[in-house]
Amino acid sequence: MKTQNTNKRIRLIMDLRRKGITDTNVLSAIERVPRDFFVPPQAKDQAWEDIALPIGLGQTISQPLVVAFMSQALELSDRDKVLEIGTGCGYQTAILSKLCRRVYTIERHKDLLKDAEKRFEELKLRNITAIAADGMKGWPTINGIDQAPFDKIIVTAAARKEPPQALKDQLKVGGIMIIPLGGPGEQNLMRYKKESEDTFAVKPLMQVRFVPLLPDVTDDKNDMAYSA
């Protein structure tokens, strides 16, 4: 089984290269983070295929191409402090943790967050701080400490027309935000580069499909939020 998984990883990395992922650090992170660790038992045989998979609560783990593309578009360095909106199962978070100094991640589903934190602990990912909160409000002040501004921000759920103002405010000048925008069936992944306190250079990157960006912390009994 170990040899089989190794072969599947190699095939996936080669596939991502063919599809335009050129950042060797991103490819290395995809290869090193065990995607099968983040999917339900019934989906493990598909974990290394370039497809999205269900993770429960109406959520999905994004296909590796989307994870790799978003990570590459952030232009990460090992000095960056990154804010992630939508922890989900924690797979994208784990990839980010291999590419930057620290990840601050917000999830509105408490059950998903609890499971993700267990995975981070088992994988010994020590540079991740995760909380259950309203991601549309950005990272909250905790014990009088503000973590903003962030070097990079990644959002793994789709806002309707533009990023929430709180996220724009928490991005440092010169920083990059990657976020899907649009309604169902018409979403585009967008790159926002903050040029001054109130101006952004905006660039569309690719068409995507994400669940909607929603406010508040859910009780996990009825609605849907993030995929990651």
Q: Which residues are catalytic?
A: 62
Are 157 and 212 in contact by the 8 Å Cβ rule? The answer is yes
Beta strands 81-85 and 59-61: pairing type? unpaired
Rounded alpha-carbon distances, angstroms, from residue 123 to 35, 90, 117, 120, 213: 12, 11, 10, 5, 28
Are 171 and 192 in contact by the 8 Å Cβ rule? The answer is yes
Residue 220: exposure state from Cβ atoms within 10 A (0-12, 13-18, ≥19): middle
Q: How far is CA 182 from the centre of its chain?
A: 18
Q: How many CA atoms lie within 13 A of 94 on its CB side?
A: 28
Q: How far apart are CA 218 and CA 225, in angstroms?
A: 9
Sheet holding 128-132, edge to edge: 128-132, 102-107, 81-85, 150-155, 171-181, 187-196, 199-208
- Three-state secondary-structure class, residue 218: strand
Q: Which letter does DSSP use for residue 40 in this model?
A: -
